[in-house]
Homo-oligomer: A and B are copies of this chain.
Amino acid sequence: MRLGPDITRIAALLGDPARANMLSALMSGEALTAGELAREAGVTAQTASSHLAQLEAGGLLTRRIQGRHNYFTLAGRDVAEAMEHLALLADRAGHMRTRPGPRDPALRRARVCYDHLAGDAGVAMLDALISQGRIADHEGALALTDAGRAFARDFGVCLETTGRRPLCKACLDWSVRRSHLAGVLGAGLLARIYELGWARRLDGTRIVAFSAPGLRAFEQTFGPVPAASGA
């Protein structure tokens, strides 16, 4: 059985703390410079440069040079999905980065999963959309209903299904271990949540922080967000 693609190369890239921290920082979806990533990973610029070259060669990162800055982004949603999947396994095995700190609950409550909402809020949102009859759950397969299409339009989400990306997709949440909503609709809803000022992303983290009125509006639309998901 020495066939098929070589998982080792990719996994080894993800297996180093410095590189994993860089990639985690990019899970927010935004582009960061080499220097910012070096600081994020807690290493010098030289070391970071080496890591970034490896990640780029491995197809996990995309580099765009602008002036004297090198901007990096994840090479695609695939990368983010694979990392989330690994996070699920890690969480189940109880592998935490550190002793859970004060900001960890915030991460579990609402965070960005590359381009859509995850955590308690993300799971609650999908639950609401299903119970409201806006998304149909055919034994784990999600489909947008006519009512859901109307809701998306009213909410201001553009559903142009450009490319082959599915409209609705279930994405397994590592903190709640249930599905939240990904796909075009998931990304569009989060974008609108930002635009409406309901929430903003905390700089340098994946945490999505709701304002007090924003949370009220969110819960009015999608129902209450349960408080505790941590064990």
A binding-site residues for B, Cβ under 8 Å:
1-17, 20-21, 24-25, 40, 58-60, 78-79, 81-83, 85-98, 101, 103-104, 107, 136, 138-144, 161, 164-169, 174-175, 183, 204-207
Q: Complex Cα distance A78/B140, Å? A: 15
Given pairs A3-B101, A4-B174, A139-B144, 6 additional interface contacts (CB within 8 A): A4-B96, A5-B91, A7-B20, A139-B143, A141-B168, A143-B143
Interface centre among A81, A97, A169 (most CB of B within 10 A): A97
Interface pair B141/A1, CB less than 8 Å apart: no
Residues of B within 8 A of A91 (CB): 4-5
Residues of B within 8 A of A4 (CB): 24, 87, 91, 96-97, 104, 107, 174-175, 206
In the complex, how many angstroms separate the beta carbon of A118 from the nearest chain B beta carbon?
Answer: 11
Residues of B within 8 A of A207 (CB): 3
Interface pair A11/B205, CB less than 8 Å apart: no
Interface pair B78/A5, CB less than 8 Å apart: no
Copies of the chain in the assembly: 2
Q: Complex Cα distance A142/B13, Å? A: 33
Q: Which 8 residue pairs are nearest across A and B when measured between Cβ atoms?
A: A140-B166, A59-B93, A12-B15, A138-B143, A11-B14, A5-B90, A139-B167, A11-B15
Residues of B within 8 A of A96 (CB): 4-6
Residues of B within 8 A of A78 (CB): 85, 88-89, 92
Minimum CB distance partner of A93 in chain B: B59
28 A-B pairs within 8 Å (CB atoms) are namely A1-B21, A1-B25, A3-B205, A4-B96, A4-B174, A5-B88, A5-B97, A5-B174, A6-B90, A9-B93, A10-B86, A78-B85, A79-B89, A81-B85, A82-B82, A82-B85, A82-B86, A138-B141, A138-B142, A138-B144, A139-B161, A139-B166, A139-B168, A139-B183, A141-B166, A141-B167, A141-B168, A141-B169
